[in-house]
Chain A
């Protein structure tokens, strides 16, 4: 097990390093500097600005300095928002994005697993067909369509929820639902497959014939096996969720890092784009690592094999 964890950790660390390096060089080699404004700057000022942002040094030196700062957790100044460092902006936005992502994930798991369990207990029944049709429709309606419609119905027409901002927990309800819907459809399909498969296992039949109550059979004998594929799905799900937060923050006007990312991409604020990408990559790799480790703990093939 320890060997497995070390291997995964090493893989994550190398991937992170490669991502950071690629992103750095891509953005430095990109055409057009950050100060290409409409007005030509006097050469002295431009030289001073470049010096302030370390842009006058050779690329390798810039890269070295960048790595040194990154190790200390400093992502440098924002190119376009003069008074802010990238760290300031991320510190302001990350809690919002993380709350949104976590709330959506929990909601997707609760909805998706309930639908999946209910459908998978009687695969092929009318109830199963209905639930799967609903989740297919959920998959097909993209967030960019569902989210504005939700704002229109629940915020504008019914005024049940606030339309924008992130002041109270109430502000997070609609965006989390909008994000959770497509994810819950995926989860429901995976859960349904797992439940349908495990219900044919001999040990489940034994549990039934012993007369155990259904909730207990589901909880003790079916869920642990049926939810294993779900754990490996959580890795890609994080990526889906992250993309979703970018859109949801836009539609629901939440001041998270996804909004900064899009704004920075539109203004070509290279350092901010780079900073947010690094934060995203770090979050995804960490969560994937946790998923891998959880999988290792649950899957006896990995647990036992590495113990020997």
Chain B
């Protein structure tokens, strides 16, 4: 697994660049607030709305808080969102898709119609609805984001399961009398892991974007906590006098999205090529 990952990273310069860039954002998010002398909530009265300088790397906001630290705290929120939401979507999407594909028939039809039904609703509206209902709780928000992003995953897993369902080795497992859950764990899931990894990589930017959209609208993360959406929203208010408040968090957001999109795309091509090679040789 680790070797495959390393081979993939070495497969092209673009992938290397995107991986390195993403890694540096992650490292900055983890260690940035520790390295920086400033605290995210401390106000520097000497430097209110100050442009970037040697002491405040990204400048400061209206009340003198260090933007670099706040941006990195926002990054932590984005990566937490990504981890929680992706976990939730894996936990729902894989069993749902695998069950639909394996059981088949009317149950499969019903389960996939439910997916179709939710799929045509914009996920963000569902999340907003949940936020209205249950109030603003950030873990609820993260969970809700996961709960809307399992749909594509369920479709992919179902498709793969259908493909595998009639495969000879599954038939053999069935005829040996193995239980459905055993077949799922030992034979189906290892075979569908590739597309799942690709889709997960491509789903993360969607979740990060969704969180920042909702926070931007004022319905997500709230002060004094922060996220890229909150920072961009604040930056928008003051962009005429201090554009850096919009530019730095916005750029971090865009870089992260770009890295994840690029890595997901390349990984898909990479795994595709590998399977075709293996089949042809």
Contacts and interface: CB of A to CB of B under 8 A. Distances in A.
Interface of A: 11, 15, 18-19, 23, 26-27, 29-31, 136-137, 139-145, 148-149, 151-152, 156, 235-236, 239-240, 242-243, 246-247, 250-251, 261-262, 265-266, 268, 270, 273, 277, 280-281, 284-285, 288
Contact of A268 (B116, B125, B132): B132
Contacts of A137: 258
Given A142-B212, A145-B232, A262-B218, A239 B258 contact: no
A243 B121 contact: no
Given A142-B213, A144-B213, A148-B236, 14 more contacts: A18-B117, A31-B134, A140-B254, A141-B254, A145-B253, A148-B239, A156-B240, A246-B124, A246-B217, A261-B125, A262-B217, A265-B128, A280-B121, A281-B121
B77 to A, nearest CB: 15
Which 3 A-B residue pairings sit nearest by Cβ, starting from the closest?
A: A140-B258, A145-B250, A30-B133
Contacts of A27: 129, 132-133
Contact of B209 (A30, A142, A151, A251): A142
Interface in B213-249: 213, 216-219, 229, 232-233, 235-236, 239-240, 243, 246
B123 to A, nearest CB: 8
Contacts of A139: 257-258, 261
A136 B262 contact: yes
Interface string B187-223: 0000000000000000001000100110011110000
B120 interface: yes
Contacts of B129: 23, 26-27, 265, 273, 277
A137 B251 CA distance: 11
A253 to B, nearest CB: 11
B212 A243 contact: no
Contacts of A18: 117
Nearest to B128: A265
Contacts of B253: 142, 145
A307 B134 CA distance: 50
B226 to A, nearest CB: 15
Given A145-B250, A265-B131, A277-B125, A250 B217 contact: yes
B219 A247 contact: no
Nearest to B265: A136
A281 B213 CA distance: 20
A contacts with B: majority SS: helix
Nearest to B233: A144
B217 A247 contact: yes
For chain B, give the interface size range: 35 or more
A149 B246 contact: yes
A27 B132 CA distance: 8
A287 B121 CA distance: 12
B113 A11 contact: yes
Contact of A239 (B117, B120, B128, B236): B120
Contacts of B116: 11, 15
B contacts with A: majority SS: helix
A267 to B, nearest CB: 10
B120 A235 contact: yes
A239 B232 contact: no
Contacts of B219: 262, 265-266
A15 B212 contact: no
B213 A247 contact: yes
B134 A30 contact: yes
Contacts of B258: 136-137, 139-140
B122 interface: yes
A140 B239 CA distance: 21
Interface in B245-281: 246, 250, 253-255, 257-258, 261-262
5 contacts: A140-B258, A142-B250, A240-B122, A262-B217, A284-B120
Contacts of A152: 239-240, 243, 246
Interface in B128-175: 128-129, 131-135
Interface in B63-98: none
A259 B196 CA distance: 36
A243 B250 contact: no
Given A139-B257, A141-B254, A142-B212, A273 B124 contact: no
B236 to A, nearest CB: 4
Contacts of A141: 250, 254, 257
B7 to A, nearest CB: 23
A29 B209 CA distance: 29
Nearest to A268: B132
A243 B125 contact: yes
B273 to A, nearest CB: 15
